[in-house]
Structure 1
């Protein structure tokens, strides 16, 4: 669903961060051989849209599709 040209939600997964926790990520590209390129979603949904926390939000990296868990739809607006 879109409003004013903006996405209202995004399909995300959890994946290990390698730092003792996990990242919430969106698959942005299937690279084949069970590899995917993902975008980190780090911030919070607000009434006016996504509030990015610049430390990690938007960071992209490659990972194994098998490491993606907890598939869900995450709202970008509160």
Structure 2
């Protein structure tokens, strides 16, 4: 039986939401020619893992790589 590797942190960026703010996103696929598919992370880290806020969490869309700003590592679990 294979053990499932649990991600504890991910690389994320900010990208314009088109609604006057920004989304925190993770690149999930590189389409080449400067285009990427991103996944929106919306929620908060807890001691037992990410608590998703359903409004936007998990939404995916294609954007230009040059729209990605503020690269950082985001924890999925709250530190002790």
Q: Give the TM-score band, short-chain normalised.
A: over 0.9
Structure 1 segments (4+ residues) deviating >6 Å: none
Task: Please provide the CA RMSD for this pair.
Answer: 0.8
Structure ranking higher in strand proportion: 1
Q: C-alpha offsets along residues 7-36 of structure 1, whole Å, 9 cap, x if unaligned?
A: 100100000000000000000000011000
- Structure 2: give runs of 5+ residues left out of the alignment: none
Structure with the greater alpha carbon radius of gyration: 2
2:40 is the alignment partner of 1:35: no
State the aligned residue count.
Answer: 75
2:36 is the alignment partner of 1:15: no
- Structure 1: give runs of 5+ residues left out of the alignment: none
